[in-house]
Amino acid sequence: MSKLPNSTLADITINLIGAAQSVDGFGVPCIIDTENVKSAGALVPVLTTCYSLQDVLAAGYTTHSKAYVQAMHLLSYTPKRVKKFIVASVSALSNAELTAVEAANSVWYLMLVTSRAYADLQACATWCDTVAARRHVFVGETQDAAAFGTGASVLSLFEASNRTRSAIVARKVNAQQVELTISAAYVAANSITLKVNGVTPAGFPVVFNTDSDTTLAAVASAIAAGTGSIGAAVVQTVAGGTNNDRTILLTAANPLIPMEITDYVCTNGASQNTASITQTNAGAGAADAELVGLLIPQGLGESTAAGKTLPGLVADDLSQSEYANVTSHGGNVYVNIGGVSQCQQGKTSGFVAPGAHAFLDTIFMRDRLESDLQAAAIAVMTPQTGKLNYDNGGIRALSGSLIGVCNGYVTKGMLMPFDTNTDWTIPDISQVAPADKTARHFPGMSANLKGTGAIQSMELTLNIQV
């Protein structure tokens, strides 16, 4: 759904009593990337509007970049997929840099970042809630579920006041692992080269002996040191002696970034020396991008972060204490519950009152309703056949259209049924001040409606007498 521009024609104010602050508009996702700084300097973000992964590549991002991975998971839903998104390259995640992004293009609603650092998540949450000129929702992710909420410093990051528009997803994940197995009869002084994510590591080619763990350790060290894609490389000895396979276990530096080992070439004894490259752990998908991709295309009444399975992602089990660390501080976990990998509980990272957190589906409902009301009002006030008369007939047409939108939300289970006679206040033409008539402005409509909420947890006490 595209975000409608601010309009003086339709001034919609919706107050969520006891929940999140009001917002204006409902729009597209924006990926904030600090890995590939494409600008000439600070406060000069480079924004690219994308409709496909090809657009991300055309903007200069590689298939192994964090922004590309985010976009790939963002677009992973068919047939209801995100139709448009923005990738913004910034030099930092400061208030000034994020404000520069908003100034360059404010027509987006959900913000994601390629960083997983606590301080970066805090910076984005603070900007969304206290600095941004428009109102945005920040969805961030950390893979450090064990540390989430365990100390006062983390509390200050994620449970500070006014963080009600920031949803944090936390989980434990394992980085991708690849085994490079070299099979050969004993050959001394091999010269080996390969590529990691399409790049030949610095220091290659490297000379080694096929049956020597010592010289193979030098190969492993060179692979790990020569590229930022690999965090560790360890030689695994299959057996002692000669004419035995040797395996190097490679672990990705970042669980979100795919690690591909290609172009293996041995230039000495090549006929005897072959390599097997096997992935042993697939690593992690971008859960926050998957969540945004799931939420944006959903129809009315379907948008909630709670209980949603994210296709393609597998959750690692969290301990009870780790689960409590996250959920007790307003965060969400991607965890296996009842045999299904799913996101719980759909809370924002801040609280409305101590112990009371806003829920993401409530914010989405409110924002969709505002956008739909604005669109309906503009459609009535600017008909193709002519103007909307300033009389009771025109007032009935305008109010009836808005009531119809809200009744649609009742049908979908988002609002409780209401009575237009008691819950809506619609002034008669005789109650309108002359100055407002002269200005062609119709004020005074209001309504008091209730949301339906949702059951996301339960308790049962069962007493059996025997």
Q: How far apart are CA 286 and CA 167, in angstroms?
A: 14
- pTM (whole model) above 0.85: no
CA distance 458 to 460: 7
pLDDT at residue 31, as a whole number: 97
Write down the pLDDT at residue 365. 85
- As a whole number of angstroms, the distance between CA 382 and CA 401 comes to 13
Six-digit token string for 254: 């970042």
Instruction: Evaluate whether 253 touches 230 at the Cβ level (below 8 Å).
Output: yes
The pLDDT value recorded for residue 415 is 92
The token pair at 429 is: 């033409």
The per-residue pLDDT for 114 is: 93
State how far the Cα of 342 lies from the Cα of 364, in Å rounded to an integer: 19
pLDDT attached to residue 219: 79
pLDDT of residue 398: 94
DSSP string covering 110-153, please?
EEEES---HHHHHHHHHIIIII-SS--EEEEEES-TTTTTSSHH
Residue-level pLDDT at 297: 76
- The domain segmentation of the chain, as residue ranges, is 29-172+286-360, 177-281, 383-447
Q: Which position has the token pair 């609603």?
A: 109
Residue 271 is encoded by which pair of tokens?
């006929």
pLDDT of residue 22: 39
Cα-Cα-Cα-Cα torsion 94, 100, 101, 107, nearest 10 degrees, comes to 130
Per-residue pLDDT, 12: 64
pLDDT at 20: 40
Show the tokens assigned to 122.
């805090």
Task: Output the pLDDT for position 86.
Answer: 94
Per-residue pLDDT of the chain (466 residues; tens, 9 = 90+): 333 444 445 566 655 554 443 344 466 899 999 988 887 678 999 999 999 999 999 999 988 889 999 999 999 876 667 888 999 999 999 999 999 999 999 889 999 999 988 788 888 988 998 899 888 899 999 888 887 777 666 666 666 656 788 888 888 888 889 988 877 666 677 788 888 888 888 888 887 776 666 677 777 888 888 777 888 888 886 555 566 677 889 898 888 888 888 888 887 755 556 778 888 887 888 889 999 988 887 776 777 788 888 887 887 778 888 888 888 877 888 888 788 888 888 888 877 777 778 888 888 888 888 888 888 888 888 877 778 999 999 999 999 999 999 999 999 888 999 999 999 999 999 999 999 999 999 999 999 999 887 887 789 999 999 8
**Between the CA of residue 82 and those of 27, 133, 268, what are the distances in Å?**
11, 24, 51
